[in-house]
Structure 1
Amino acid sequence: MTDRDQLREAFETQEHNTPDPSAVYARVQELSQKYKRRRRGAQIAAGGVLGAGLIAGAINLPSFLPASNAVSNTSAGVPAAAPAVSASADPEDTRQEQLEAYSEAGFGYDDAGRLAKIWKLSDDNRLEVKAEAGRRLLLGETLPIKPTPDAPVEEETINPQDEARFAAFFNAGYTYTEAEKLAKIWKIADPSDAKLEAGKRLLAGQELPVKPTPEGVAAGLEAKRVSKFFDSGYDVDDAVKLAKTWNLKDAYSAKVEGGKRLLAGETLPIQP
């Protein structure tokens, strides 16, 4: 699965919630940490592209057609009707279990495309296809295809110095748009190199000739807080507990609040 596929899946996990740009920006950074730091430099550089324009053009989630829950090895079936879920169940946790079941069974990204054709679902939203397949597997059903795991991707690393420069660039609220402007001002061919140069100057306490937008600054601050939350050893389960402790609306808000307190030198009420 390519980095582009990973970023698209990150969008898909948020499309049904119609979030604001800053929430998606932070969520993508969170998810990117789960991909074994592969192509880390490309992921960080790509983060600046996330904005309202892309979110507005996101693809709507498909609706699944109800059908029998019976086990079937044929290719003619459509997704079975979802079983009743108790009001106390966390949809995010259920969805994660479905995706994990899909991956642990050995199925890959290309398999989701094959299943989309068999079940007549949108191939543009393979994450939903994976979740549906995982739901069936958890029910004990057999999928109509054999698993073909994704081919291993050669890991590429980024040196700590460049990683710090990229982080400084995005945490300050800058995006790819500002990187393009800076590249023209500094006569740098590649905007990614302009990000590194900008990050270097920011870390040195210098001001850049281009200012970030207020929306970018807000998104960068949220991303910084979420990163601090995870870098401190906390995970999603901790965020759920903190959301209940602080009476927040969801786990994401707890990640932002937790990161904010950690950056201020405070201690959270639970240990990671």
Structure 2
Amino acid sequence: MTEQPHHDQLREAFESHENNTPDPEAVYARVQELSVKYKRRRRGAQIAAGGVLGAGLIAGAINLPAFLPANNAVTNTAAGVPAGAPASPSAAASPDTSTRDANLAAYSEAGYGYDDAGKLARLWKMNGDDRLSVKAEAGRRLLLGETLPIQPSPDEPVEEETISPTQEKQFRAFFNAGYTWDEAEKLAKIWKIADPADAKLEAGKRLLAGETLPVKPKKENVAAALENKRAEAFFEAGYDVDDAVKLAKLWKLKDAWGAKVEGGKRILAGQTLPIQP
């Protein structure tokens, strides 16, 4: 799959604060810190036009991670992950902000970059589009004293970019419908758009207008996008991984990820879960 843009570092900054309502300047400082380590170089994978990120954008886009890929098939694993086994996105990074930051810091301080996360995702059979979770899992293992199966290759910094609220909605519509970079490339060819990232914007615009796209997403990606939406609703309601483990036992589900998805499904349907967050 074509490499993703430097918005990876933006996603990390925002997701690391997703359970809080932070001071925009504090989040901006976090973005600036991460941008030195995680920015992307390839224009063919950029999401939006170049520009300088300002604190005003941060203040108006605290939910920015939603526009990033979260729709590839999810690998379910048990709540306890063996040291050498693949980890599900649900177990990879703790919802606790300090733990997540510590894991990401360990990853970056060891010299690993965005491309490394893609390699690790393939080795561990994790979602390659959700590289934040891959990095957090790698950092967790590093903090446990484990040696990762690849050598570090940090990314080089590039010019920062901005994204408007309208573009954020378009990207959200694109990914929530189950589309991925592969479909973006096909749409770019059909619509004669040079950059597949711009094809995502056009696709999202048309989806929001109720139009049908000439390319259909894969069924498994549509299902995975719905799962992620439900899991997000679970966390947004204040529940965490420990709650998911308890619910998995109550509902006799095989893992915590399944409990997050089921819990989010019930929350979105207006139901009350059997435990409080």
TM-score (norm 2): 0.50
CA change 1:188–1:93 in 2 (3 A) is closer
In 1, the alpha carbon distance for the partners of 2:138 and 2:220 equals: 33
| Aligned: 1:135 with 2:144 | yes
SS across alignment from 2:144: helix
Q: Which has the larger radius of gyration?
A: 1
The amino acid of 1:47's aligned partner reads P
In 2, the alpha carbon distance for the partners of 1:171 and 1:255 equals: 17
Q: Which residue of 1 is the match for residue 231 of structure 2?
A: 226
Deviations 1:48-72 (A, max 9, x none): 79569xxxxxxxx997xxxxxxxxx
Q: Which residue of 1 is the match for residue 108 of structure 2?
A: 109
| Aligned: 1:47 with 2:69 | yes
In 2, the alpha carbon distance for the partners of 1:223 and 1:95 equals: 15
Deviations 1:139-165 (A, max 9, x none): xxxxxxxxxxxxxx9997643332222
Deviation of 1:197 after TM superposition, in Å, equals 1.4
Q: Which residue of 2 is the match for residue 15 of structure 1?
A: none
Q: Which residue of 1 is the match for residue 268 of structure 2?
A: 263
Contact 2:167–2:201, Cα closer than 8 Å, also in 1: yes
In 2, the alpha carbon distance for the partners of 1:128 and 1:232 equals: 24
Can you give the 5+ residue segments of structure 2 that lack an aligned partner in the other structure? 19-26, 36-45, 48-64, 75-81, 85-89, 113-122, 125-134, 146-157
- Identity between Structure 1 and Structure 2 (%): 52
Q: Which residue of 2 is the match for residue 162 of structure 1?
A: 167
Q: Which residue of 2 is the match for residue 83 of structure 1?
A: none
Deviations 1:81-120 (A, max 9, x none): xxxxxxxxxxx989969x949938x75524367xxxxxxx
Contact 1:261–1:268, Cα closer than 8 Å, also in 2: yes
CA change 1:107–1:218 in 2 (3 A) is closer
Can you give the 5+ residue segments of structure 1 that lack an aligned partner in the other structure? 8-28, 53-60, 64-91, 114-123, 137-152
| Aligned: 1:185 with 2:184 | no
In 2, the alpha carbon distance for the partners of 1:94 and 1:195 equals: 28
CA change 1:252–1:270 in 2 (3 A) is same
Deviation of 1:129 after TM superposition, in Å, equals 7.1
The amino acid of 2:212's aligned partner reads E
Aligned residues: CA RMSD: 5.0
Deviation of 1:191 after TM superposition, in Å, equals 0.9
TM-score (norm 1): 0.51
The amino acid of 2:265's aligned partner reads K
In 2, the alpha carbon distance for the partners of 1:178 and 1:102 equals: 33
Q: Which residue of 1 is the match for residue 180 of structure 2?
A: 175
SS across alignment from 2:242: helix
Deviation of 1:198 after TM superposition, in Å, equals 1.1
- How is 1:1-272 mapped onto 2 (pairs within 5 angstroms)? 33-34=15-16, 38=31, 47=69, 50=72, 100=99, 103=102, 107=106, 109-111=108-110, 130-131=139-140, 133-135=142-144, 158-272=163-277
Deviation of 1:233 after TM superposition, in Å, equals 2.9
